[in-house]
Amino acid sequence: MRGAKSAKWVASAIVVALAATACGGNDSSNDGGKGEVDPNGVFRLTNSEPQGNLQPANSRDTASGQVIKGLFSQLVDYKKDGSAELVYVNAESVETEDNRTWTVKLKKGWKFHDGEEVTSKSFVDAWNWAANIDNNQQNSYWFADIKGYEDVHPSKGKPKAKEMSGLKVVDDHTFTIELTEPVTYFNYKLAYSAWSPLPSKFYDDPKAYGDKPVGNGPYKFVSWERKKKITLERYDEYQGPDKAENGGVELVVYNTLEAQYQAVASEKADVITQIPPRDLPKYRQDFGDRAIDAPMAGVQSIVPVFYGDQWKLGDEKNAKLRQGLSMAIDRKTITDKVLNGSRVPATGFVGPNVLGFQEGVLGEVAEYNPEKAKKTIEDAGGVPGNKVHIQYNADGGHKEWVEAVCNNIRQNTGVECIPDAKVDFQTDLNTRDAKKVKSMYRGGWVLDYPVNVNFMRELYETGADSNTGFFSSKKVDELFKKGDSAADLDGTVKAYQDAEKELVKEMPAIPLWYYSTQAAHSKKVNNVEFDLANFLLMHKVKVVK
């Protein structure tokens, strides 16, 4: 009985995961753990050791990110169902007339876990502190839109000021943010955890605070046993919409994904947020209706470098070659088999479930068509040297799919394709930064904020810091500019959608597939849901008695 039911659920889960790219979906396993819900039950989430301390503007890795998301609430949040509808959390409202000056009104009565009231100052001081280059916060660039950022975060030398002139406290519950340029989607950026407020006691000793953080979120910090676990408990006075439906979380550290998996499979822990490659083929059998497939917003692609002599800018025939290579890749077979259904074939440059996502913008360029691929490449004069390299880091589990992609290219187009392994991520990044990539490299991007802009401007604008393929196109830059100066969010999104269509012609990258979440949970919990960056929505988890 059970087996049959599981199989059916699995089949529908895959359909849901695939369909989710189009219409979005809020996947959860609804009936995993059965029985009465214990509102004070504590569950164990498998995690790895956070890198660095728990200062919100310094957290970039997923392990500390998950903790920060429990400890802190932001001004706003957005729905994860693909509509990306804005939700106010600590803010009563975030409004603007001109997209340049934003007025934030805070909800009254919000308190940090130590009892201090959350006021305008809690935000403004925290942002000034985090943006200051001397404080070495890894997320400091998030504040770059604010007027006066250059003074606290110069690209060279010491900061000239301690405060950004664009931030002004009006009263305890109102403050304004002035930007250097209008940004129509600025309110969406505020959902990122770098914008967390900080209590005044933070500044006494920021480092010590990072070991024992005090936030304004649905959970309060209890303890941190290094390399063992972090314990959070529900903050009972919490007033936000995302109040915890469980008593607390233990984030238990396991060295490897394999160990995390085993812990959940043997009911020693309750939720795993990522399935290790070794267990991917079997996890649906192992967990039955407790296996989860949920959509994410992220794209994996192979990125040509335009500083070598193989790929040329503004050359239509050269761009055709990249289209040809794209058509030679059998995305469906590779995602199904080599990647065990953990990815969804990409049809555009922008990840799904964000504002402005366009299904199928790549059209036939993303469709597997060996004959056309070969013909397109031949018609365009063939790939210079008749050989491409795909650079990847050997320590990240990419070897299998890079080899499969290369086999596709080689066997379908006759262009020799060499997987170019770099020992580790460090060496890989170093080669990219030093402009020494031979031909193409593996690139990946997961959303920072849920607008299509995020998937294009940082990667393909001329001179952008993350544009390590050194793509540059006047036409695309103009469309970006048009979007940035649009009167409203719709205008921005539309212009960037046009830019995405232009990108298809120029192919600054060959998008391969969208990321998606594969997860599982024990019999002790249910209602396990994820956001678009693979973070568990901890507050929603229900613990069964």
Partner 1 sequence: MPDLTKTEETEPVKAPVAEGAPVPPADPAVGKPRSLWSDAWSDLRRSPMFIISSAMILLLLVIAAFPGWFTSLSPRDSDMALYLQKPQFGAFFSPEWLGYDGQGYSVYTRLIHGARNSILIGVSVTVLVTFVGGLLGMLAGYFGGWVDTVISRITDVFLGLPFLLGAMVILVSFETRAVYVIVLALAVLGWTLVARVMRGSVITVKQADYVMAAKALGASTTRILFRHVLPNAVTPVIVVATIALGGYISAEATLSFLGIGLAPPAVSWGVDINTAKDLLRNAPHVLLWPGLMLSFTILAFIMFGEAVRNALDPKLR
Partner 2 sequence: MGRYVARRLLQMIPVFIGVTLLVFLMMYALPGDPVRALYGDQTIDPAQIAAIKADLGLDLPLWQQYWNYLMGLPQGDFGEQIATGLPVGEVIARALPITARLALLAFIIIVIVGIGLGMVAGLNAGRWPDTVVLFVTLIFISVPVFVLGYIYQYVFSNTLNWTSPLVTDSENLGELLMPAFVLASLSLAYVARLTRSSVAENRRADYMRTAIAKGLPQRRVLSVHLLRNSMIPVVTFLGVDIGTLMAGAVVTEGIFNINGIGSELFTALFRREGSTVVGLVTLIVIIYLAISLLVDLLYAVLDPRIRYA
Among the listed residues 147, 399, 501, 540, the single contact to partner 1 using CB under 8 A: 399
Q: Residues 243 to 302: which contact partner 1 by CB under 8 A?
A: 276-279, 281-282
Give the closest residue to 198 by CA, choosing from 109, 70, 73: 73
Residue 117: half-sphere exposure toward Cβ, Cα within 13 Å: 9
Handedness of CA 526, 532, 537, 540 (dihedral sign): negative
Among the listed residues 146, 421, 541, 543, the single contact to partner 1 using CB under 8 A: 421
Among the listed residues 160, 162, 212, 227, the single contact to partner 2 using CB under 8 A: 227
What does 446-483 look like in DSSP terms, one character per residue?
Answer: E-SSSBGGGGTHHHHSTT-TT-TT----HHHHHHHHHH
User: Quick one: how far is CA 396 from the chain centroid?
Assistant: 17
Binding partner of residue 227 among partner 1, partner 2, none, CB under 5 to 8 Å per kind? partner 2
Give percent helix, percent strand, percent coil of the chain, each to the nearest 5: 35, 20, 40
Stretch that binds partner 2, among 11-19, 20-28, 150-158, 177-185 (CB under 8 A): 150-158
- If one asks whether residue 155 binds partner 2 (CB under 8 A), the answer comes out as yes
Q: Which residues contact 305 (CB under 8 A, 6 or more apart)?
A: 311, 435, 437, 439, 440, 441, 468, 469, 470
Residue pair 271/261 in contact by the 8 Å Cβ criterion: no
Cβ at position 271, least distance to partner 1 in Å: 21
Among the listed residues 403, 458, 498, 502, the single contact to partner 1 using CB under 8 A: 403
Which residues does residue 520 pair with via DSSP β-bridges, in sequence order? Answer: 272, 291
Which residues does residue 253 pair with via DSSP β-bridges, in sequence order? Answer: 47
Cβ at position 259, least distance to partner 2 in Å: 4
455-474 mask for partner 2 (x: CB under 8 A)?
Answer: ---x------xx--------
- If one asks whether residue 53 binds partner 2 (CB under 8 A), the answer comes out as yes
- If one asks whether residue 410 binds partner 1 (CB under 8 A), the answer comes out as yes
Binding partner of residue 338 among partner 1, partner 2, none, CB under 5 to 8 Å per kind? partner 1
Among the listed residues 6, 53, 274, 333, the single contact to partner 1 using CB under 8 A: 333
- If one asks whether residue 337 binds partner 1 (CB under 8 A), the answer comes out as yes
What does 396-414 look like in DSSP terms, one character per residue?
Answer: TT-HHHHHHHHHHHHHHH-
Handedness of CA 149, 155, 160, 162 (dihedral sign): positive
If one counts every other C-beta atom within 10 angstroms of the C-beta of residue 313, the result is 16
Q: Which residues bind partner 2 (CB under 8 A)?
A: 49-53, 60-61, 133-134, 136-138, 140-141, 153-156, 210, 226-227, 254-256, 258-259, 262-263, 266, 268, 395, 424-427, 429-431, 433, 443-446, 448, 458, 465-466
Q: Which residues bind partner 1 (CB under 8 A)?
A: 276-279, 281-282, 330, 333-334, 337-338, 394-395, 397, 399-400, 403-404, 406-407, 410-411, 418-419, 421, 423-424, 427
